[in-house]
Chains A and B, each alone.
Chain A
């Protein structure tokens, strides 16, 4: 079975641009979470979706948005990119919307120049 897949794996954007990152959860998983991991730090929670509804939001500005599609895949959108948005963006999926048991993808490395 395929794990959590994220695309693209690497991306370079210019300040002020917007970016869309994509995540396909493990088959049968209905919950998707997004995290930002800056080099040298732990992942920071951005969003959690379950059955296409937002169930949780971290302390990120409104430039960050996400959605979950009927097939449970998800997109993370970031507008008006800043240099500080450069990070590894991780997606994780789970069958449930609570507890643990999340499986992470390998992430998308975003560099803003």
Chain B
């Protein structure tokens, strides 16, 4: 399949360590923020989302933090595994004035066994 994210920022972590992937978003009117994982040859896969009125949400091994003051979003992955290696995108959804989704540039995560 095709390769995604050839020239993206890269984060390399050791298996078992925690990973933190950061994202700056653009629109203070966004309603939802979502993290996606994309493996080569596949479409983006939903990981976790957070509404704009929250600042933290936890899932299984993942936590999303939202800082609206500085328009910053982060994804924390606990006990990173080789299967977590992929390109990660943050996205913001806004519905005011018509639905729109904006994806960030993406970060490639490498997990070393």
Contacts and interface: CB of A to CB of B under 8 A. Distances in A.
Interface of A: 4, 33, 35, 37, 39-45, 48, 50, 55-58, 88, 90, 92, 97-107, 109
A56 B7 contact: no
A43 B103 contact: yes
Interface residues of B, number: 32
B104 interface: yes
A42 B105 contact: yes
Contacts of B113: none
A40 B100 contact: no
Interface stretch (B13-21, B73-81, B91-99): B91-99
Contacts of B41: 106
Given A33-B101, A56-B100, A100-B32, A90 B43 contact: yes
- Tell me whether chain B's interface is mostly helix, strand or loop, or mixed: loop
A104 B104 CA distance: 17
Given A100-B32, A107-B43, 9 more contacts: A42-B91, A42-B105, A43-B44, A55-B99, A90-B44, A100-B46, A100-B93, A104-B44, A109-B2
Given A56-B98, A106-B41, A101 B46 contact: yes
Contacts of B7: 40
B42 interface: yes
B31 A98 contact: yes
Contact of A39 (B3, B44, B103, B104): B3
A98 B93 contact: yes
